[in-house]
Amino acid sequence: MFTVTFQDLNLNTPLNNAIEDLGFVNPTPIQAKAFNVVASGKDMVGIAQTGTGKTFAYMLPILRHLKYSRQENPRVLVLVPTRELVVQVVNEIEKLSKYINNRVLGVYGGTNINTQKQAIAQGQDIIVATPGRLYDLAVSRVLQLKSIQKLVIDEVDVMLDLGFRHQLMNIFDILPERRQNIMFSATMTKDVDELISDFFINPNKISIAVSGTPLENISQERYDVPNFYTKVNLLEHLLRDDETFSRVLIFVAYKKMADRLFDKLEELFPGQSCVIHSNKTQNYRLRSIEQFSDGEHRLLVATDVMARGLDIDDVTHVINFDTPDYPENYMHRIGRTGRAEKKGHALLFSTEKEQEAREDLESLMQMQIPLVEFPEEVIISTELIEEERPQIKERNNPTKRRTEDIPGPAFHEKKEKNKKVNLGGSYRREMAKKYKKPKTRGDKNANKRNKRRR
Ligand code: AMP
């Protein structure tokens, strides 16, 4: 197989020396693939997980072409979801910059903003930041973003999952329009897809192809299940065998579903399950993972994005409670079982609506997952959750009237009123009805005036 070497990347001496010091032999696949795309200045989307060398995948070409400058305003902005990642990325950039004269600064929330302002005022080339703090600094006008030429968004899936979309939009608004966008994501999600199509110009998509060949030691089976509650019934039926299903990772597509399923499992198997998704605090997530990996709890419900960094051994079963829209996510999910050459099992639940996604992932694997007959003793529920009830798709219908445009009662009242014959002089008639006679003699002049009017 053809291997790309660092020589092929045409790096300069300072970078080559730094890499030699680090002891790296060859670029990783994502580094080899991303280098020319990033160097060309085109927008790029990279699908790669932590540990693949993705930080250097964007930093090597950026540093290769970043010219020495004494200007104060930064030219490269790297956005990451957490402060830990800010520290890590700054660290990596510093390692690569050992023989380069550039200025790198990491900024994140929860620390003194004034210290960061002072550091910015000294002039920087590269800023690595979490979105919230970056925006605060930009609004305070200490940090000028007008010279940013390259925007890197790392772990964009986590960022969107944590609810940073709005903050990203705000930042996009104050960045120069002419810039290169580079984005990395470990998982493909609908949110990520949407962000790409809204803000990227014809991006070059590169990914280190997830192997479409599942490990041989993972057995796969699938069930056709009509809806959520029947999936719960089937799950209950399977999980009752706690000897076979002794450490089970259950995947769901989104947070709400994770919570919903976790609640159900708590009812059915009290004290045996835990859940992780991005709305849970870091501490909660860590505790859940700990409880699951040390065997205290045998069931863990997780979303795709949050399960990405999981490193847990001896998972007996991966249950795909839903069928992932992106076939790559299925490969990542099932790769959590059957580790270290142990036998692993993967089960897939699919509703009628999910059959297309199921066919997609089967064609990625070039195999068909054997269908297991639905167990007779499992009750088929007809109850539907909110998302399953038939919905009339009305989005993007420009001719549709919004509710506030629909004529309400005021319209009819007016119609009624319009039908009335206008008798004129309504004020006088009202007064006449009310004051047939002056109640008191009162002010003579006023009475005279009233008389004249009448
Ligand atoms: P990342 O995916 O960026 O978090 O990187 C994962 C780890 O791989 C980091 O500790 C890097 O220092 C290391 N790394 C990056 N590129 C290479 C390479 N070409 N060869 C060996 N290790 C690397």
* Dist. CA 94 → ligand 1 center (Å): 14
Q: Is 27 a pocket residue for ligand 1 (Cβ < 6 Å)?
A: yes
Mean local confidence (pLDDT), 159-175 = 92
Q: Is 187 a pocket residue for ligand 1 (Cβ < 6 Å)?
A: no
Helices (H), 175-210: 190-199
* Dist. CA 57 → ligand 1 center (Å): 9
Q: Is 24 a pocket residue for ligand 1 (Cβ < 6 Å)?
A: yes
Report which protein residue has its CA nearest ligand 1's atom 23.
53
Q: Is 349 a pocket residue for ligand 1 (Cβ < 6 Å)?
A: no
* Dist. CA 52 → ligand 1 center (Å): 6
Weakest mean pLDDT among 47-56, 109-118, 285-294, 402-411: 402-411
Mean local confidence (pLDDT), 267-287 = 90
Using the Cα atoms of residue 10, residue 80, residue 155 and residue 147 in order, give the sign of their dihedral. negative
* Dist. CA 61 → ligand 1 center (Å): 15
- Say if residue 390's pLDDT is above 50: yes
Mean local confidence (pLDDT), 353-378 = 95
The residue type of 217 is N
- CATH topology of 6-207 equal to that of 218-384? yes
Q: How many CB atoms lie within 10 A of CB 266?
A: 15
Q: Domain ranges for the chain, please list them.
A: 6-207, 218-384
* Chain segment 212-260, per-residue pLDDT in tens: 677 788 999 999 999 999 999 999 999 999 999 999 999 998 899 999 9
- Say if residue 49's pLDDT is above 90: no
* Dist. CA 92 → ligand 1 center (Å): 9
CB 377 within 8 A of CB 237: yes
* Chain segment 77-102, per-residue pLDDT in tens: 999 999 889 999 999 999 999 999 99
Q: Is 54 a pocket residue for ligand 1 (Cβ < 6 Å)?
A: yes
Weakest mean pLDDT among 96-105, 341-350, 420-429: 420-429
Predicted model pTM: 0.74
CATH class for the domain made up of 218-384:
alpha beta
The CATH homologous superfamily to which domain 6-207 belongs is: P-loop containing nucleotide triphosphate hydrolases (3.40.50.300)
Report which protein residue has its CA nearest ligand 1's atom 21.
24
CB 154 within 8 A of CB 93: no
* Dist. CA 316 → ligand 1 center (Å): 30
Helices (H), 130-276: 131-139, 156-161, 165-174, 190-199, 228-239, 255-268
Ligand 1 atom nearest 27 alpha carbon: 19
